[in-house]
Homo-oligomer: A and B are copies of this chain.
Amino acid sequence: MDIKAYMQQVGVQARAASAAIARADSGLKNKALSAIADAIQGSRDSLILANQKDMQRGAENGLDAALLDRLELTPARIDAMLEGLHQVIALADPVGGMTDLEYRPSGIQVGKMRVPLGVIGIIYESRPNVTIEAASLCLKSGNAAILRGGSEAIESNQALAQCIRTGLEVAGLSEHTVQVITTTDRQAVGELITMSDYVDVVIPRGGKSLIERISKDAKVTVIKHLDGICHVYIDDDADMSKAVNVAINSKTHRYGTCNTMETLLVAQSVADKALPQLARAYGELNVELRGCAATKAILADVEDASEEDWSTEYLAPVLAIKVVADMNEAIGHINRYGSHHTDSIITENYTKARNFLRQVDSSSVMVNASTRFADGFEYGLGAEIGISTDKIHARGPVGLDGLTSQKWVVLGDGHIRH
Protein backbone atom coordinates (compact mmCIF):
# COMPACT_ATOMS: atom_id res chain seq x y z
CA MET A 1 0.00 0.00 0.00
CA ASP A 2 1.34 3.43 -0.97
CA ILE A 3 0.60 5.31 2.27
CA LYS A 4 1.36 8.75 0.85
CA ALA A 5 -0.99 8.25 -2.09
CA TYR A 6 -3.68 6.82 0.17
CA MET A 7 -3.49 9.76 2.58
CA GLN A 8 -3.47 12.31 -0.25
CA GLN A 9 -6.65 10.70 -1.57
CA VAL A 10 -8.20 10.83 1.90
CA GLY A 11 -7.22 14.51 2.06
CA VAL A 12 -8.70 15.37 -1.33
CA GLN A 13 -11.93 13.58 -0.42
CA ALA A 14 -12.11 15.34 2.95
CA ARG A 15 -11.59 18.76 1.37
CA ALA A 16 -14.34 18.06 -1.16
CA ALA A 17 -16.74 16.85 1.55
CA SER A 18 -15.99 19.83 3.80
CA ALA A 19 -17.80 22.29 1.52
CA ALA A 20 -21.09 20.39 1.78
CA ILE A 21 -20.92 19.78 5.52
CA ALA A 22 -20.07 23.47 6.09
CA ARG A 23 -23.31 24.37 4.31
CA ALA A 24 -25.45 21.68 5.96
CA ASP A 25 -28.12 23.00 8.31
CA SER A 26 -28.58 21.75 11.89
CA GLY A 27 -31.49 19.53 10.96
CA LEU A 28 -29.46 17.59 8.43
CA LYS A 29 -26.47 17.26 10.73
CA ASN A 30 -28.68 16.04 13.57
CA LYS A 31 -30.33 13.56 11.21
CA ALA A 32 -26.90 12.11 10.40
CA LEU A 33 -25.94 11.95 14.09
CA SER A 34 -29.21 10.25 14.91
CA ALA A 35 -28.73 7.76 12.07
CA ILE A 36 -25.22 7.00 13.33
CA ALA A 37 -26.72 6.27 16.75
CA ASP A 38 -29.28 3.96 15.12
CA ALA A 39 -26.55 2.17 13.20
CA ILE A 40 -24.53 1.65 16.40
CA GLN A 41 -27.64 0.40 18.20
CA GLY A 42 -28.27 -2.04 15.36
CA SER A 43 -24.65 -3.24 15.33
CA ARG A 44 -24.05 -3.84 19.02
CA ASP A 45 -23.17 -7.51 18.51
CA SER A 46 -20.82 -6.97 15.60
CA LEU A 47 -19.14 -4.05 17.42
CA ILE A 48 -18.43 -6.25 20.43
CA LEU A 49 -17.21 -9.04 18.14
CA ALA A 50 -14.83 -6.67 16.38
CA ASN A 51 -13.64 -5.35 19.73
CA GLN A 52 -12.99 -8.90 20.96
CA LYS A 53 -10.56 -9.39 18.08
CA ASP A 54 -8.70 -6.25 19.21
CA MET A 55 -8.77 -7.41 22.83
CA GLN A 56 -7.46 -10.85 21.93
CA ARG A 57 -4.65 -9.49 19.75
CA GLY A 58 -3.89 -6.96 22.50
CA ALA A 59 -3.60 -9.70 25.11
CA GLU A 60 -1.38 -11.74 22.80
CA ASN A 61 0.83 -8.70 22.24
CA GLY A 62 1.10 -8.25 25.98
CA LEU A 63 -0.73 -4.92 26.36
CA ASP A 64 -0.95 -4.02 30.04
CA ALA A 65 -4.20 -4.20 31.98
CA ALA A 66 -4.83 -0.43 31.96
CA LEU A 67 -4.51 -0.29 28.18
CA LEU A 68 -6.74 -3.33 27.69
CA ASP A 69 -9.31 -1.70 29.94
CA ARG A 70 -9.32 1.45 27.83
CA LEU A 71 -9.58 -0.64 24.66
CA GLU A 72 -12.57 -2.68 25.78
CA LEU A 73 -16.02 -2.01 24.36
CA THR A 74 -18.70 -3.19 26.79
CA PRO A 75 -22.50 -2.86 26.44
CA ALA A 76 -22.34 -0.07 29.03
CA ARG A 77 -19.70 1.76 27.00
CA ILE A 78 -21.81 1.42 23.86
CA ASP A 79 -24.67 2.94 25.86
CA ALA A 80 -22.39 5.81 26.85
CA MET A 81 -21.45 6.33 23.19
CA LEU A 82 -25.15 6.57 22.24
CA GLU A 83 -25.76 8.94 25.14
CA GLY A 84 -22.86 11.09 23.93
CA LEU A 85 -24.35 11.24 20.42
CA HIS A 86 -27.68 12.39 21.82
CA GLN A 87 -25.90 15.06 23.87
CA VAL A 88 -24.22 16.40 20.74
CA ILE A 89 -27.56 16.40 18.90
CA ALA A 90 -28.97 18.53 21.73
CA LEU A 91 -26.14 21.09 21.52
CA ALA A 92 -26.79 24.39 19.78
CA ASP A 93 -25.27 24.56 16.30
CA PRO A 94 -22.54 27.23 16.34
CA VAL A 95 -22.23 27.48 12.54
CA GLY A 96 -23.64 30.57 10.87
CA GLY A 97 -24.24 32.36 14.16
CA MET A 98 -23.83 36.09 13.62
CA THR A 99 -22.71 38.49 16.34
CA ASP A 100 -21.68 42.08 16.87
CA LEU A 101 -23.43 43.38 13.76
CA GLU A 102 -23.01 47.11 14.10
CA TYR A 103 -23.35 50.16 11.89
CA ARG A 104 -20.13 52.00 11.13
CA PRO A 105 -19.79 55.71 10.38
CA SER A 106 -19.46 54.87 6.65
CA GLY A 107 -22.96 53.37 6.73
CA ILE A 108 -21.93 49.73 6.28
CA GLN A 109 -22.96 47.16 8.89
CA VAL A 110 -20.06 44.99 10.10
CA GLY A 111 -20.32 41.79 12.12
CA LYS A 112 -18.98 38.29 12.46
CA MET A 113 -20.27 34.90 11.38
CA ARG A 114 -19.12 31.66 12.95
CA VAL A 115 -17.84 29.18 10.35
CA PRO A 116 -16.29 25.70 10.41
CA LEU A 117 -12.50 25.35 10.24
CA GLY A 118 -12.72 22.96 7.27
CA VAL A 119 -10.95 19.63 7.70
CA ILE A 120 -9.90 18.44 11.15
CA GLY A 121 -7.47 15.58 11.72
CA ILE A 122 -7.69 13.77 15.06
CA ILE A 123 -5.01 11.40 16.26
CA TYR A 124 -5.80 9.31 19.31
CA GLU A 125 -4.92 6.14 21.12
CA SER A 126 -6.68 3.07 22.39
CA ARG A 127 -10.21 4.13 23.43
CA PRO A 128 -12.57 3.36 20.51
CA ASN A 129 -15.31 5.64 21.86
CA VAL A 130 -13.15 8.61 20.81
CA THR A 131 -14.00 7.66 17.21
CA ILE A 132 -17.67 8.49 17.80
CA GLU A 133 -17.00 11.46 20.09
CA ALA A 134 -14.62 13.10 17.57
CA ALA A 135 -16.82 12.29 14.58
CA SER A 136 -19.90 13.76 16.21
CA LEU A 137 -18.23 17.00 17.36
CA CYS A 138 -16.60 17.60 13.97
CA LEU A 139 -19.84 16.85 12.15
CA LYS A 140 -21.98 19.10 14.37
CA SER A 141 -19.49 21.95 13.96
CA GLY A 142 -19.65 21.58 10.16
CA ASN A 143 -16.17 20.17 9.67
CA ALA A 144 -14.99 17.15 7.71
CA ALA A 145 -12.92 14.80 9.85
CA ILE A 146 -10.01 12.44 9.31
CA LEU A 147 -9.68 10.13 12.29
CA ARG A 148 -6.57 8.13 13.08
CA GLY A 149 -7.11 5.81 16.06
CA GLY A 150 -4.61 3.53 17.73
CA SER A 151 -3.45 0.44 15.86
CA GLU A 152 -4.54 -1.71 18.81
CA ALA A 153 -8.18 -0.63 18.20
CA ILE A 154 -8.23 -1.02 14.43
CA GLU A 155 -11.02 -3.65 14.26
CA SER A 156 -13.27 -1.72 16.66
CA ASN A 157 -12.65 1.55 14.85
CA GLN A 158 -13.38 0.09 11.43
CA ALA A 159 -16.65 -1.38 12.74
CA LEU A 160 -17.56 2.06 14.14
CA ALA A 161 -16.54 3.66 10.84
CA GLN A 162 -19.09 1.46 9.11
CA CYS A 163 -21.82 2.80 11.45
CA ILE A 164 -20.71 6.36 10.71
CA ARG A 165 -20.84 5.78 6.95
CA THR A 166 -24.32 4.27 7.27
CA GLY A 167 -25.51 7.31 9.21
CA LEU A 168 -24.00 9.76 6.74
CA GLU A 169 -25.63 7.86 3.87
CA VAL A 170 -29.07 7.97 5.54
CA ALA A 171 -28.73 11.77 5.80
CA GLY A 172 -27.56 12.04 2.21
CA LEU A 173 -24.12 13.31 3.22
CA SER A 174 -20.87 12.20 1.60
CA GLU A 175 -19.21 9.18 3.21
CA HIS A 176 -16.01 11.25 3.08
CA THR A 177 -17.38 13.70 5.65
CA VAL A 178 -15.85 11.45 8.32
CA GLN A 179 -13.04 9.14 7.24
CA VAL A 180 -11.43 6.66 9.59
CA ILE A 181 -7.92 5.75 8.40
CA THR A 182 -7.78 2.06 7.48
CA THR A 183 -4.03 1.56 7.80
CA THR A 184 -2.13 1.13 11.05
CA ASP A 185 1.11 2.20 9.34
CA ARG A 186 2.63 5.04 11.34
CA GLN A 187 3.57 6.86 8.16
CA ALA A 188 -0.11 7.78 7.89
CA VAL A 189 0.30 10.09 10.90
CA GLY A 190 3.33 11.74 9.32
CA GLU A 191 1.31 12.41 6.17
CA LEU A 192 -1.75 13.65 8.05
CA ILE A 193 0.14 16.29 10.01
CA THR A 194 2.00 17.66 6.99
CA MET A 195 -0.67 17.80 4.26
CA SER A 196 -1.63 21.39 4.92
CA ASP A 197 -3.45 21.70 1.60
CA TYR A 198 -6.09 19.29 2.86
CA VAL A 199 -6.05 19.55 6.64
CA ASP A 200 -6.72 22.78 8.57
CA VAL A 201 -6.02 21.68 12.10
CA VAL A 202 -4.78 18.55 13.88
CA ILE A 203 -5.80 17.59 17.41
CA PRO A 204 -3.66 14.87 18.95
CA ARG A 205 -5.02 13.15 22.02
CA GLY A 206 -2.71 10.95 24.02
CA GLY A 207 0.47 10.92 26.01
CA LYS A 208 2.80 13.91 26.21
CA SER A 209 5.54 12.27 24.14
CA LEU A 210 3.13 11.51 21.26
CA ILE A 211 1.89 15.10 21.30
CA GLU A 212 5.35 16.60 21.47
CA ARG A 213 6.47 14.47 18.53
CA ILE A 214 3.44 15.49 16.49
CA SER A 215 3.86 19.19 17.32
CA LYS A 216 7.51 19.05 16.33
CA ASP A 217 6.87 17.54 12.91
CA ALA A 218 3.51 19.12 12.05
CA LYS A 219 3.10 21.59 9.20
CA VAL A 220 -0.59 21.90 10.03
CA THR A 221 -1.76 23.91 13.07
CA VAL A 222 -1.91 21.67 16.14
CA ILE A 223 -4.37 22.25 19.01
CA LYS A 224 -2.54 20.48 21.75
CA HIS A 225 -2.73 19.48 25.33
CA LEU A 226 0.65 18.73 26.85
CA ASP A 227 0.43 18.16 30.58
CA GLY A 228 -1.47 19.22 33.63
CA ILE A 229 0.74 20.36 36.46
CA CYS A 230 -2.01 22.08 38.42
CA HIS A 231 -1.65 23.97 41.71
CA VAL A 232 -3.78 24.95 44.65
CA TYR A 233 -2.37 27.87 46.66
CA ILE A 234 -3.66 28.25 50.23
CA ASP A 235 -3.31 31.94 51.01
CA ASP A 236 -2.77 33.65 54.39
CA ASP A 237 -6.37 34.80 54.20
CA ALA A 238 -7.86 31.42 53.30
CA ASP A 239 -10.96 30.08 54.99
CA MET A 240 -9.36 26.94 56.37
CA SER A 241 -12.32 24.64 55.88
CA LYS A 242 -12.66 25.68 52.22
CA ALA A 243 -8.89 25.24 51.85
CA VAL A 244 -8.95 21.69 53.16
CA ASN A 245 -12.00 20.70 51.11
CA VAL A 246 -10.63 22.11 47.85
CA ALA A 247 -7.10 20.77 48.40
CA ILE A 248 -8.40 17.27 49.13
CA ASN A 249 -10.88 17.30 46.24
CA SER A 250 -8.36 18.71 43.75
CA LYS A 251 -5.93 15.89 44.51
CA THR A 252 -8.09 12.92 45.32
CA HIS A 253 -11.34 13.21 43.31
CA ARG A 254 -9.49 11.41 40.52
CA TYR A 255 -5.77 10.77 40.27
CA GLY A 256 -5.30 10.18 36.55
CA THR A 257 -6.86 13.33 35.09
CA CYS A 258 -5.01 16.35 33.72
CA ASN A 259 -6.88 18.78 36.01
CA THR A 260 -5.79 16.99 39.19
CA MET A 261 -3.60 19.08 41.52
CA GLU A 262 0.03 17.94 41.53
CA THR A 263 1.61 20.60 43.76
CA LEU A 264 0.09 22.27 46.82
CA LEU A 265 1.43 25.70 47.79
CA VAL A 266 0.80 26.97 51.32
CA ALA A 267 1.43 30.46 52.68
CA GLN A 268 3.99 30.37 55.49
CA SER A 269 1.68 32.13 57.98
CA VAL A 270 -0.95 29.37 57.81
CA ALA A 271 1.26 26.34 57.13
CA ASP A 272 1.33 25.34 60.81
CA LYS A 273 -2.44 25.24 60.90
CA ALA A 274 -3.19 23.85 57.43
CA LEU A 275 -0.59 21.16 56.90
CA PRO A 276 -1.31 18.83 59.85
CA GLN A 277 -5.06 18.68 59.00
CA LEU A 278 -4.28 18.08 55.35
CA ALA A 279 -1.65 15.44 56.10
CA ARG A 280 -4.20 13.52 58.17
CA ALA A 281 -6.80 13.64 55.40
CA TYR A 282 -4.30 12.67 52.69
CA GLY A 283 -2.95 9.94 54.97
CA GLU A 284 -6.38 8.34 55.25
CA LEU A 285 -6.51 8.22 51.45
CA ASN A 286 -2.95 6.87 51.18
CA VAL A 287 -1.62 9.87 49.28
CA GLU A 288 2.17 10.03 49.41
CA LEU A 289 3.43 13.51 50.35
CA ARG A 290 6.74 15.06 49.27
CA GLY A 291 7.65 18.37 50.81
CA CYS A 292 10.12 21.25 50.85
CA ALA A 293 12.27 21.83 53.96
CA ALA A 294 9.65 24.07 55.60
CA THR A 295 6.96 21.44 55.01
CA LYS A 296 9.19 18.78 56.55
CA ALA A 297 9.73 20.97 59.59
CA ILE A 298 5.97 20.78 60.22
CA LEU A 299 5.20 17.29 58.95
CA ALA A 300 7.61 14.67 60.28
CA ASP A 301 7.22 11.71 57.93
CA VAL A 302 7.22 13.42 54.56
CA GLU A 303 9.72 12.62 51.82
CA ASP A 304 12.00 15.28 50.33
CA ALA A 305 10.59 17.03 47.27
CA SER A 306 13.36 17.45 44.71
CA GLU A 307 13.55 20.19 42.08
CA GLU A 308 12.11 17.66 39.64
CA ASP A 309 8.98 17.17 41.73
CA TRP A 310 7.84 20.74 41.04
CA SER A 311 7.47 19.95 37.36
CA THR A 312 6.20 16.39 37.58
CA GLU A 313 2.70 15.33 36.59
CA TYR A 314 2.28 12.33 38.88
CA LEU A 315 -1.18 11.20 37.72
CA ALA A 316 -1.05 9.14 40.92
CA PRO A 317 -1.68 9.44 44.67
CA VAL A 318 1.45 11.53 45.15
CA LEU A 319 1.50 15.22 46.07
CA ALA A 320 4.33 17.75 46.24
CA ILE A 321 3.96 20.45 48.92
CA LYS A 322 5.79 23.76 49.14
CA VAL A 323 5.56 26.45 51.77
CA VAL A 324 5.83 29.92 50.19
CA ALA A 325 6.38 33.35 51.72
CA ASP A 326 3.33 34.95 50.10
CA MET A 327 1.06 35.06 47.06
CA ASN A 328 3.72 36.60 44.86
CA GLU A 329 6.04 33.67 45.47
CA ALA A 330 3.13 31.32 44.76
CA ILE A 331 2.36 33.04 41.45
CA GLY A 332 6.05 33.01 40.52
CA HIS A 333 6.23 29.28 41.26
CA ILE A 334 3.07 28.51 39.27
CA ASN A 335 4.12 30.50 36.21
CA ARG A 336 7.58 28.94 36.31
CA TYR A 337 6.93 25.27 37.10
CA GLY A 338 3.28 24.82 36.12
CA SER A 339 2.00 23.78 32.72
CA HIS A 340 -0.37 26.75 32.28
CA HIS A 341 -3.33 24.40 32.71
CA THR A 342 -5.37 25.07 35.88
CA ASP A 343 -4.47 26.80 39.11
CA SER A 344 -6.58 27.87 42.07
CA ILE A 345 -6.13 30.26 45.00
CA ILE A 346 -7.96 29.78 48.30
CA THR A 347 -8.47 33.19 49.86
CA GLU A 348 -11.12 35.47 51.33
CA ASN A 349 -9.08 38.52 50.35
CA TYR A 350 -10.68 40.47 47.50
CA THR A 351 -7.52 42.16 46.24
CA LYS A 352 -5.47 38.99 46.24
CA ALA A 353 -8.21 37.07 44.43
CA ARG A 354 -8.30 39.79 41.79
CA ASN A 355 -4.52 39.83 41.36
CA PHE A 356 -4.21 36.05 41.23
CA LEU A 357 -6.85 35.89 38.46
CA ARG A 358 -4.99 38.47 36.44
CA GLN A 359 -1.41 37.35 36.98
CA VAL A 360 -1.50 33.57 36.73
CA ASP A 361 -0.83 32.65 33.12
CA SER A 362 -2.92 29.48 32.85
CA SER A 363 -5.81 28.36 30.69
CA SER A 364 -8.03 28.19 33.80
CA VAL A 365 -7.49 30.36 36.86
CA MET A 366 -9.76 29.80 39.85
CA VAL A 367 -10.66 31.30 43.20
CA ASN A 368 -11.95 29.02 45.97
CA ALA A 369 -12.78 26.16 43.61
CA SER A 370 -11.37 22.72 42.92
CA THR A 371 -9.06 22.37 39.90
CA ARG A 372 -11.20 19.38 38.92
CA PHE A 373 -13.81 21.80 37.55
CA ALA A 374 -11.61 22.52 34.50
CA ASP A 375 -13.71 20.51 32.08
CA GLY A 376 -15.94 21.19 29.08
CA PHE A 377 -19.05 19.79 30.71
CA GLU A 378 -18.52 21.71 33.96
CA TYR A 379 -17.92 24.91 31.97
CA GLY A 380 -21.14 24.45 30.04
CA LEU A 381 -19.61 23.66 26.63
CA GLY A 382 -21.72 20.52 26.49
CA ALA A 383 -18.84 18.39 25.25
CA GLU A 384 -15.14 18.76 24.74
CA ILE A 385 -12.74 17.46 22.14
CA GLY A 386 -9.82 18.17 24.44
CA ILE A 387 -8.20 20.75 26.67
CA SER A 388 -5.73 23.09 25.00
CA THR A 389 -2.65 24.27 26.86
CA ASP A 390 -1.83 26.53 23.92
CA LYS A 391 -2.69 30.21 23.81
CA ILE A 392 -3.38 30.50 20.12
CA HIS A 393 -6.90 29.90 18.77
CA ALA A 394 -8.26 27.82 21.66
CA ARG A 395 -7.29 27.79 25.32
CA GLY A 396 -8.56 25.40 27.99
CA PRO A 397 -11.49 23.08 27.28
CA VAL A 398 -12.28 23.01 23.53
CA GLY A 399 -15.93 22.51 22.62
CA LEU A 400 -17.83 23.09 19.39
CA ASP A 401 -16.82 26.76 19.27
CA GLY A 402 -13.15 25.74 19.35
CA LEU A 403 -13.72 23.81 16.12
CA THR A 404 -14.94 26.94 14.38
CA SER A 405 -13.59 30.31 13.36
CA GLN A 406 -15.27 33.62 12.62
CA LYS A 407 -15.40 35.44 9.33
CA TRP A 408 -16.43 39.06 8.86
CA VAL A 409 -19.68 39.96 7.18
CA VAL A 410 -20.35 43.37 5.72
CA LEU A 411 -23.83 44.49 4.73
CA GLY A 412 -24.20 47.54 2.56
CA ASP A 413 -26.58 49.24 0.20
CA GLY A 414 -24.22 49.99 -2.63
CA HIS A 415 -21.65 51.57 -0.31
CA ILE A 416 -18.31 52.56 -1.75
CA ARG A 417 -15.19 53.78 0.00
CA HIS A 418 -14.31 57.44 -0.23
User: Which residues of A are interface residues toward B (Cβ below 8 A)?
Assistant: 19, 22-23, 96, 102, 104, 106, 108, 110, 113, 115, 117-118, 200-201, 216, 219, 221, 239, 241-242, 245-246, 248-250, 253, 335, 344, 346, 357-359, 361-370, 372-374, 378-380, 391-393, 395-397, 405-417
15 contacts between A and B (CB under 8 A): A19-B361, A23-B359, A108-B373, A110-B380, A113-B357, A115-B391, A246-B416, A253-B417, A344-B410, A364-B409, A366-B410, A368-B414, A370-B417, A391-B405, A396-B407
Residue in contact with A414 in the complex, picked from B23, B108, B246, B373, CB distance below 8 Å: B246
Collect the chain B residues with CB atoms within 8 Å of residue A410's CB. Answer: 344, 364-367, 369, 373-374
Known: A23-B358, A110-B373, A391-B405. 5 other contacts (CB 8 A): A102-B380, A200-B392, A372-B417, A373-B412, A392-B393
Is A104 within 8 A of B379, CB to CB? Answer: yes
Smallest CB separation, A96 vs chain B (Å): 6
Smallest CB separation, A278 vs chain B (Å): 14
CA distance A22 to B412 in the complex (A): 38
Q: Which residue of B lies closest to A406 (CB)?
A: B395
Residue in contact with A335 in the complex, picked from B19, B115, B346, B409, CB distance below 8 Å: B19
Is A110 within 8 A of B414, CB to CB? Answer: no
Is B368 within 8 A of A395, CB to CB? Answer: no
CA distance A93 to B234 in the complex (A): 31
Is B414 within 8 A of A239, CB to CB? Answer: yes
Is A408 within 8 A of B378, CB to CB? Answer: no
Residue in contact with A365 in the complex, picked from B104, B253, B407, CB distance below 8 Å: B407
Interface of A is mostly: mixed
Which residue, of A113, A239, A370, A407, has the highest number of chain B Cβ atoms within 10 A?
A: A407
Q: Which residue of B lies closest to A249 (CB)?
A: B416
Q: Which residue of B lies closest to A344 (CB)?
A: B410
Q: Which 5 A-B pairs have the closest CB atoms?
A: A369-B412, A242-B414, A249-B416, A366-B410, A372-B417
Collect the chain B residues with CB atoms within 8 Å of residue A393's CB. Answer: 392-393
Collect the chain B residues with CB atoms within 8 Å of residue A411's CB. Answer: 366-369
Collect the chain B residues with CB atoms within 8 Å of residue A104's CB. Answer: 378-380
Collect the chain B residues with CB atoms within 8 Å of residue A408's CB. Answer: 363-365, 374, 379, 395-397
Smallest CB separation, A327 vs chain B (Å): 13
Collect the chain B residues with CB atoms within 8 Å of residue A392's CB. Answer: 117, 200-201, 221, 392-393, 405
Smallest CB separation, A347 vs chain B (Å): 11
Collect the chain B residues with CB atoms within 8 Å of residue A22's CB. Answer: 359, 361
Which residue, of A104, A250, A415, has the highest number of chain B Cβ atoms within 10 A?
A: A415
Is B115 within 8 A of A361, CB to CB? Answer: yes
Is A108 within 8 A of B369, CB to CB? Answer: yes
Smallest CB separation, A10 vs chain B (Å): 20
Q: Which residue of B lies closest to A369 (CB)?
A: B412
Is A414 within 8 A of B245, CB to CB? Answer: yes
CA distance A331 to B45 in the complex (A): 45
Q: Which residue of B lies closest to A219 (CB)?
A: B216
Residue in contact with A358 in the complex, picked from B96, B102, B241, B248, CB distance below 8 Å: B96
Residue in contact with A413 in the complex, picked from B19, B242, B396, CB distance below 8 Å: B242
Residue in contact with A370 in the complex, picked from B23, B200, B415, CB distance below 8 Å: B415
CA distance A253 to B417 in the complex (A): 7
Smallest CB separation, A301 vs chain B (Å): 27
Smallest CB separation, A90 vs chain B (Å): 15
Is B366 within 8 A of A409, CB to CB? Answer: yes
CA distance A115 to B363 in the complex (A): 10
